[in-house]
């Protein structure tokens, strides 16, 4: 099963913006988006 969730890379760590349902562990692939794909942190209460 493949599942995508949004996250932010900051200070050497990836912070997920949502929690995948029914998943306690698994392998991941991280893809960095271009500058235009940045998430507005304040709009998400971060």
Q: Could you read off the pLDDT of 11-25 as tens digits, one per residue?
A: 999 999 988 888 888
Percent of the chain with pLDDT over 70: 91
User: Alpha-carbon distance 44 to 6, whole Å?
Assistant: 12
pTM: 0.55
Write out the residue range of the structural domain in which residue 29 sits: 7-44
Average pLDDT value for the chain = 83
2 found inside a domain: no
Cα 1 off chain centre by: 17
User: Alpha-carbon distance 6 to 17, whole Å?
Assistant: 6
33 found inside a domain: yes
24 found inside a domain: yes
Domain total of the chain: 1
22 found inside a domain: yes
21 found inside a domain: yes
14 found inside a domain: yes
11 found inside a domain: yes
Query: What three-state secondary structure class fits 9?
Result: strand
């Amino acid at each position: 099963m493949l599942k995508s969730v949004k996250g932010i890379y900051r200070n050497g760590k990836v912070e997920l913006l949502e929690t995948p349902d029914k998943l306690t562990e698994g392998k991941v692939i991280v893809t960095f988006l271009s500058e235009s794909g940045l998430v507005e942190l304040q709009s998400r209460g971060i």
